[in-house]
Structures are given as C-alpha cells and as structure tokens.
Amino acid sequence: MHFLIISLYELGQFLRIVLWVFLPLFVVVLLITTYLHHRRKRRSMPVALETGELLLPEGSEESAPAEMEQPDEDNLYKGFLWMKQKFEEYREQSDERVGALKEELAQAKEKIVDLTDKLEYNMSLLMNIHKELDRSLTTESVPATTPEAASGGSGELVKE
C-alpha cells in the first residue's frame, strides 16, 4: 500500500480550490437546465390545449377513463366533466368525514361533561371524608376532663 506523498493540509487546500471552482459551476448549470425545462413546458401547454389533450399529473394516467385517451374534439370537455365528477366525489367524502368528526366531537364533549360531573361528585365525597377525619381526630386529641386527669394522677387510689 502506498502512502500519500502530500500532507492532509495540502489535500484540504486542493479540495477547497476544486470546490470553489466546481460548486458555482454546478449551480449555474442547474439553473440553466431548470430555466430551459420551464420554458419548454410553458411552450407545450398552449399546444396541448389547442389539440385537446388533457394534461394530467404524473401517475394519474391509470385513473383517467379510457375514453379520454382517444383524441377527439370532445376530449377536453370529457376531461373537464371527469374532473368535475372527481371533485364532487372528493367533496362528498370530505363532507362525510366532517360529519363523522362532528359526531365524534359531540360524543367527546358529552364524555367530558360526564367525567366533570363525576369528578365534582368525587371531590365533594372526598371533602366530606376529610371533614369527618378532622372531626374524629380533634375529638381524640382533646385531653380528658376528669378530675383525676386534671390533677396529674394516674387514676389509682393511693393510701395515705
């Protein structure tokens, strides 16, 4: 295996020079091809409309009806009718989806109201339980009021 005769610094400088030359050149070539493609596409559009061809997006040729593939005078009109029909189908589907989503929203709102009511009821129960616990703890912690407990006696009778 042969090692490089140049150092890594020199290789880096070489790559910088090459990139300073070829990167702008690449960008210019890319812009020129984009402009030429755009110009050719713009020129072909009026020709397609005059001949009656329908310009469909790529990949949608399979979904177009077979009668549109035959060149006739009514081809453009049939294409517009087909597009109108597809638009109406999509609109109906979206209306159905909106209706289903509205129903889901109404059900979710009802569920939220039910859960809020249950939460309020449970909070009131917890507050009652807390009050009862406070009352029971305060009655147990009150010192005894018997005379023996007040005098500090143990409750046993002592003989004198």
| pLDDT 10s digits, 76-89 | 888 888 999 999 99
Average pLDDT over residues 92-98: 94
Task: Indicate whether 159 belongs to any domain.
Answer: no
Question: In whole angstroms, what separates CA 50 from the centre of its chain?
Answer: 43
Task: Indicate whether 67 belongs to any domain.
Answer: no
**Long-range contacts from 33-40, C-beta under 8 angstroms, 24+ separation:** none
| pLDDT 10s digits, 13-60 | 999 999 999 999 999 999 999 999 998 888 877 666 566 555 555 555
Task: Indicate whether 157 belongs to any domain.
Answer: no
Task: Indicate whether 14 belongs to any domain.
Answer: yes
Domain count, the chain: 2
Q: Are residues 46 and 102 in the same domain?
A: no
- Does the global pTM surpass 0.75? no
Task: Indicate whether 155 belongs to any domain.
Answer: no
Domain that holds residue 125: 73-139
| pLDDT 10s digits, 58-81 | 555 445 555 555 556 668 888 888
In angstroms, the CA 27 to CA 24 distance is 5
Question: In whole angstroms, what separates CA 32 from the centre of its chain?
Answer: 38
Task: Indicate whether 60 belongs to any domain.
Answer: no
